[in-house]
Structure 1
Amino acid sequence: MKNLRNIFLAMTLSMVTSYSFATAPFAKNSLEDAITFEIPPSRPAFKDVSICRLQIQVKTNSFDGAQTDDPVSVRLNARDNPFYLNLSHNDRERNRTDTYDVLTPNVNKIKDIQFIQMKIHGSDGWNVREINLIVNNVTIYTRKFSNGYWLDTDNSKRQDVLYIPVREMSKSSNYRYNNVTGNIWRGPTMVPKSFIDDLVESAVGNSLNDVKKVSWGKKQGKYYISSKRINDNTLRFDLDLSYEVTAAPDVEIDVDFDLVFTCENGVVKTTVKNYKTSRHGVTQYVVKNVLPKLKKALYAKCTGIPEPATKIACYGGVWAVGYLLDFSFDYDDPISGKDIGLNKDCTSALSLNANGDLVLGKKRTNLRNRAQLSKRPKVANSK
């Protein structure tokens, strides 16, 4: 597979007809720049919490006409390019709640969130009832609109942008440490398969906005996007896409590829193998343009014991999959008081469990009373 830094060269997409398109929009959205992920030895200030997962959740109002089929994008930082919110199912329908993973290289910590700017690109008005900002699976900001908020470009009395500045968000009781957000700073030791699936879906959905005539297709099976565990380090993905044909039925496109996880010199990397499609041209496009976003979505290098001010750079092809701690999120053995469960090398620890979750870190072998684990506070979540 070619170096990912060369994927933004112009490519040709061949379907029923052939045409070429420039990939410049992807170049400016590239996540190839280095990202730093700080591993704190203790709880940092709330604004300095590192973000492992960033989501926007939106509720559409329930009355007729509240829904929209128009594209919607979001920005959270002045340096962001629009990130298009495009789930595989028919999102933004009446009385529906949709949750989107947002991939941006400019928001690595909570303090990097400068605003929420959500924009509709079209004249099919959309009425928003509620919006939530979710960081590391914890809702830190909620805004409800009693009469709904209209996003529309075809009405002088409405706005095409919903803008919420950070000074307003910071007034939220969850925009600081409390009993809900108390563990928001702790990094994950396991990346659930559902999280990886969601990242692939968000990356593909955003990318499809810049591709003429290609969209999510008809569902083949239970999901538009699915993955299954092949072995200890491989997930196999299946994407259902569609190509619009003038004066003829749309062409269904089935894209399959394996995402292989390896650990090289303490760094978790991913490689795409065995990819194929019912329409060859789209494979080269979708897979190669999705990967840059995927590979920077989690951040990090998995090596070393956390020390004060330790910073871990994220290079091309590296997935940051959290601290290499054991399953308890604790730095200390509650019995001996000594550091345990910290790996100097993730090579022997990386694996996909039976559910397809990516697990890092060796199981504890020196904890004599595992019942202690049940007494520890659980990580807060948004539910």
Structure 2
Amino acid sequence: MTFSFDKKIERRNTRAVKWDLVKSLYGSEDVLPMWVADMDFEVPPAVKDALTERAQHGVFGYTYTDNALQNTITDWLEYKHDWKVKSASILYSPGVIATLYMAIQTFTDKGDKVLIQTPVYPPFYDIVKNHDRELVTNSLIVQENRYEIDFEDFEAKLQQGVKVFILCNPHNPVGRVWTQAELEKIVALCKKYNVMIFADEIHADLVYHPNKHIPIAKIDEDMEEQIITCMSPTKTFNLAGLQVSYVIVANKQKRDALEKTFHKQGMHILNTMGITALDAAYNNGREWLEQLLKQLQTNIDYVVNTFANHPKVKVFRPEGTYLIWLDFSKLELSQDELKEFLQTRAQVGLNDGASFGEEGSGFMRMNIACPLDIVKEGTTRIKNALDNA
């Protein structure tokens, strides 16, 4: 079956964060939003049909998760990532960030050191600071137009008594998909210094050939018990508004402790539509995802080719995610001036690079998960503004 990713769907007046907050965030309705990480594509037909059928049932009482749902998830993980997960190791949560909040509360105490790799998804900072933990950063370094891990600094930071390392893989915003060798180094060092790993792998299914996502919990069986892996179908199938995710915890003692925190915070029940969507997506969305990845690759190629050798912007081609990290530092503008330039001169709404950390100053993040015509429009607006700057 062939799926179309050309259809432009009107999202305004649906309380869509991406579209309905444009004026309040960027000052004009004329700004083209290419920021928050959801897609402008319809979900797979099987998901739409399953949700419609469930809505027509008309009763939306409490819903439980069963063995069949667990099997759906384990089958998906084996199919997509060659990862055999025991169904008993799965817990459910409304979202990955919610899970990370619960994990920090469960496995660390006030004042404990938590390491993140920057620039990184802004909520990572909040996870640490909002719980009165000490933030420790390992800045990623650029080598030959590609972000790499500074392992010398990484180890030096772990030596300071870090309790937890929060991994982002695929990385948001720089788009790296960490290799087997890189993951092995991370695991070996965390094992050496007895550091737990919380892995945000929400973009795991959105990876482009020849790159391959490897769940970090697969790297070392001995270290598996020290790893908590957060995953979800929400980025993969555009289900973010349904708030459904799961967490894989191999160690029973740790899993029980985390589940206890979930219950303490009243976060142990998924919503009915989220369960329905997850089940339909994982069971019937494989062909749709294959075609989606081809469309996203086409969109990425367009942006990369448009700005190839442009003197005022550098594009970091993502190995995974549908987010592109753009370096505008050659414009020599302050971050406020850069944001003003893009929203008033280019009339495109991007994510502020500085929100990902101080290393993001001079950068912006672009979301290309939309019809190619919109990607072309946004890219052309930016190019024209740069050419006339």
Work out whether the TM-score is over 0.5.
no
Higher relative contact order (CA 8 A, sep 6+): 2
TM-score of Structure 1 vs Structure 2, range by shorter chain: under 0.3
Using the size of structure 1 for normalisation, the TM-score is: 0.24
Q: Identify, as 1 or 2, the structure richer in helix.
A: 2
Using the size of structure 2 for normalisation, the TM-score is: 0.24
